[in-house]
Structure 1
Amino acid sequence: MDCLRLPFIKSLASNYRVVLASGSPRRKELLDRLGISYEVIPSDFAEDLDKSQFATAADYVLENATIKAHEVYRRINDQTQKPVLIIGADTVVVNAAGAILEKPGSAQDATSTLRSLSGKTNTVYTGVCLIVGSSNQSESPVVEKAVESTEVRFGDLDDSIIDAYVATGEPMDKAGSYAYQSLACFFVEEIRGDYYNVVGFPCARFYQMLLALHRQGHF
């Protein structure tokens, strides 16, 4: 795979232990394109926050990403010789009625979700939290956060295409019960915003976050 090998990214990998706090294969594939050396250590966070306690979906998804990153940071920070950079992320879909949709719990749940998205626009939110540790363990880490949103418009879906799609099993580990980068390409009519955010990781926003930290002198 072709990848970008920017000088400050090479320096980052040399001087920091970089950890992706997610087991998502989509996030791993996209992160690989930067040519950065990193480990995958998924967070143990149960993702059981009460959605009703958050004013917006953006607040909710960012808190999930932040908790994931901090959980991994606390677990490994005192077990490494290098300072760490933890990458936490979380993605949700919000339907036209304002309901937050995460991964479906069953095929029936996926079917219901897809029916609610049919012929309407949903919004994909991804929260990203970066934690930059220090070689001095007594110093507090630097935390950088951001949320990216993308609008996705579905065509009208009849029961036959919904049933066929759910039968593939693809919706079962996807926020909002669909994967635009795969079979859902047949019924997504339009997107407005970052395509890769819909895949699960907003690459351009992530790069800008890294660049900001670099310009602040962290790596």
Structure 2
Amino acid sequence: MIILASSSPRRRELLSRLVPDFTVVPAAIDERALPVLAPAPYVQSLAIAKAQAVAALHPAATVIAADTMCYQGADLLGKPKDRADAARMLRQLAGTTHHCATGLAIARPGQPLQTAVVTTAVTFWPLDDAAIDRYLDTGEYRDKAGAYGIQGQGALLVRAIDGDFYNIVGLPIATLGRMLHGLALD
């Protein structure tokens, strides 16, 4: 049995491209209880905590967990608290390059935990307040790291990406596929 330790509809849809039959069991962890680290180790620690929490409840299953965070320099850009917080993030990202990092963890019975971090650079177009308000009016910013969803209207904010598109959505399926099939990541 394969379990996705996430309630994200985007991750469910992306995992279904790799694995036709899996169960969803969101991890019951308090993300705020984990120490905030640099972006890559932070998302990795969150993915590991999620995988281990669900694997403890389902020890015979293969558990896949992921966590995505956008960041610019040392500034972590998680999910916005509200519309004002989303506007602040989008103003900060306008006309600049930021990064999205996803930590992956796979817990399999009797095997060491597999982990990876995938990072993608994202460059936004310059945005004025009217463009930001138009985007916020879509409501897509809710529950999205960095306050945008590249798979929807948020694509109109993005000038360029360098790296895995699906990583920005929340599940780097090429890397995950290699991990699931035991292929080298180099």
Pick aligned residue for 2:99 from 98, 123, 145: 123
Report the Cα distance in structure 2 between the residues aligned to 1:35 and 1:89, rounded to whole angstroms. 15
Pick aligned residue for 1:68 from 20, 36, 50: 50
Residue equivalent to 2:30: 46
Report the Cα distance in structure 2 between the residues aligned to 1:130 and 1:36, rounded to whole angstroms. 17
Amino acid corresponding to residue 92 of structure 1 in structure 2? M
Displacement of 1:50? 3.1
Residue equivalent to 1:87: 64
User: Normalising by structure 1, what TM-score?
Assistant: 0.80
2:52 is paired with a residue of what secondary structure?
Answer: helix
Query: Where in structure 1 are there 5+ consecutive unaligned residues?
Result: 1-16, 78-82, 135-140, 214-219
Report the Cα distance in structure 2 between the residues aligned to 1:71 and 1:105, rounded to whole angstroms. 26
1:170 is paired with a residue of what secondary structure?
Answer: coil
Displacement of 1:101? 0.8
User: Normalising by structure 2, what TM-score?
Assistant: 0.94
Report the Cα distance in structure 2 between the residues aligned to 1:166 and 1:195, rounded to whole angstroms. 22
Runs of 4+ more than 2 Å apart: none
Residue equivalent to 1:189: 159
Displacement of 1:35? 3.9
Q: 1:65 to 1:35 in 2, by over 3 A?
A: closer
Report the Cα distance in structure 1 between the residues aligned to 2:104 and 2:135, rounded to whole angstroms. 29
Pick aligned residue for 2:179 from 184, 190, 209: 209
Larger Rg: 1
Query: Where in structure 2 are there 5+ consecutive unaligned residues?
Result: none
2:154 is paired with a residue of what secondary structure?
Answer: helix
Displacement of 1:167? 2.0
CA contact (8 A) 2:100 2:167 kept: yes
Residue equivalent to 1:23: 7
Amino acid corresponding to residue 173 of structure 1 in structure 2? D
2:79 is paired with a residue of what secondary structure?
Answer: coil
